[in-house]
Amino acid sequence: MSANASSEIQNGVAQKSLRIVHCFRSPVGGIFRHVRDLTEAQLAAGHAVGIVCDSTTGGAYEEKLFEELRPALALGVHRTPMQRHIGPGDVASAWRTFGIIKRLQPDILHGHGAKGGVYARVFGSLLRVSRSRVARLYAPHGGSLHYDEHTLTGKLFFRVEGMMARFTDHLLFVSDYERRAYRKKVGEPPVPNSLVYNGLREEEFEPVGEAPDAADVLYIGMMRDLKGPDILIDAVPLAEQRLGRQLRVVMVGAGDDLPTYQAQAKRLGLEGRVVFKPPMRAREAFALARLVVVPSRAEAMPYIVLETLGAGKPMIATAVGGIPEIFPQNSPALIAPDVAQLAGKLAEALSDLAAYGQLMPTTDLLKTRFSAAAMARQIEDAYRGALGR
The domains of the chain, with CATH numbers, are: 7-199+371-388 (3.40.50.2000), 203-369 (3.40.50.2000)
Residue 13's pLDDT is what?
40
Per-residue pLDDT of 251-264, as tens digits, reads 999 999 999 999 99
Q: Which of 317, 272, 308 is nearest to 289 (CA)?
A: 308
Helix (H, G, I), strand (E, B) or coil at 194: strand
Residue 74's pLDDT is what?
98
- The CA-atom distances, in angstroms, between 48 and each of 10, 57, 138, 208, 247 are 16, 25, 19, 34, 49
Residue 85's pLDDT is what?
66
Query: With 90 as the cut, is the pLDDT of residue 389 above it?
Result: no
Per-residue pLDDT of 80-128, as tens digits, reads 999 876 666 678 889 999 999 999 999 999 999 999 999 999 999 999 9
Contacts of 276 (CB under 8 A, 6+ apart): 251, 252, 258, 261, 262, 265
Percentages helix, strand, coil for the chain (3-state, rounded to 5) are 45, 20, 35
Percent over 70 (pLDDT), the chain = 95
Amino acid 110 reads: H
* CA pair distance 288, 217, nearest whole angstrom: 8
* CA pair distance 132, 126, nearest whole angstrom: 9
Q: Which of 339-343, 348-352, 364-368 shows the lowest per-residue confidence on average (mean pLDDT)?
A: 364-368
Residue 5's pLDDT is what?
45
* CA pair distance 97, 88, nearest whole angstrom: 15
Residue 14's pLDDT is what?
47
Per-residue pLDDT of 11-70, as tens digits, reads 444 478 999 999 999 999 899 999 999 999 999 999 999 999 999 999 999 999 999 999
Residue 271's DSSP bridge partners are 274
Percent over 90 (pLDDT), the chain = 88
Residue 89's pLDDT is what?
67
Residue 314's pLDDT is what?
98
Residue 144's pLDDT is what?
85
Residue 83's pLDDT is what?
80
Per-residue pLDDT of 177-218, as tens digits, reads 999 999 999 999 999 999 999 999 999 999 999 999 999 999
Q: What is the mean pLDDT of the chain?
A: 93
- Predicted confidence band at 170 (pLDDT cuts at 50, 70, 90)? very high
